[in-house]
Amino acid sequence: MARTDSGVSYRPVPELTEHGAAHGVALVTGASSGIGAAVARQLAADGGWRLLLTGRDRDRLDAVAEALSATAVRADLDDQDETEHLVGEALRATGRIDLLVAGAGIGWAGPFHTMPLSAATRVVSVDLVAVIRLVRLVLPHMLAARSGHIVLIGSVAGTFGVRGEAVYSAAKAAVATFADALRYELDGTGVHLTHILPGVVDTPFFERRGAPYTRSRPRPIPPEKVADAVCTALRQGRHDVYVPGWLRLPAYVRGVAPGLYHRLAARFG
């Protein structure tokens, strides 16, 4: 049994087994739709998790939570007070958070010079600052328990940079670097970190960013594929996971032959 400075007690939980069984509390953000909702459904199907779900759309969040017998706590993670309230409510309700899946995010599409400063600020705030804030609130409790897993849902946009999504790409690149740096600190603590890098996913994200996805390639994948990758990464303890896996190849080319990569990206990207 471990105890934090606030007096909340925790009992470290076993890691996921090869069959996905576990006994712990999972907090999933962005769970009202898209990747977050798909991850919540997959965790429920794997069994053993007590699910705490959060999102901004109360009606959709409640529908997802009811279907999964989960607990819903509505919160806008762009708001510091609401984020602190969310984590406080989660700990009061369960006494622990064993798994954090940070899946909430927003986008904006269009030429950078036409992007309102308010939109740029909000993308950075939701996709980067809110992630850092949430991890900062949850991590001390995991460290005290010497057990836990953090999953950050990033994007290949943070690896490659996407035309028309300069600020979104920058925010996701910062999340990737944050994940790398924090992972060094967590070595030997019993807390693990996984960074998921999806490509184009068929979710309401594109409707909300203000422009539909119109490219013929790569084709959008269903959010369930990302959810499967999250659960596989939990079982296998993987650090960085590209979804689909072939996206690791252009990432490799970019690293070893940046000139060739940029020529190809300029032609086909």
> Where in the sequence numbering do the catalytic residues fall?
168
Q: Rg of the Cα trace of the chain?
A: 18
* Distance, CA of 254 to CA of 232 (rounded, Å): 26
Which H helix or E strand runs over 266? Answer: helix 258-268
**How far is CA 92 from its chain centroid?**
23
Q: What is the DSSP string of 151-175?
A: EEE--THHHH--TT-HHHHHHHHHH
Report the alpha-carbon angle 226-67-55, nearest 5: 60
Integer CA distances (angstroms), 149 to 36, 38, 95, 97, 245, in order: 16, 18, 16, 9, 22
Structure-block tokens of residue 50: 């007590």
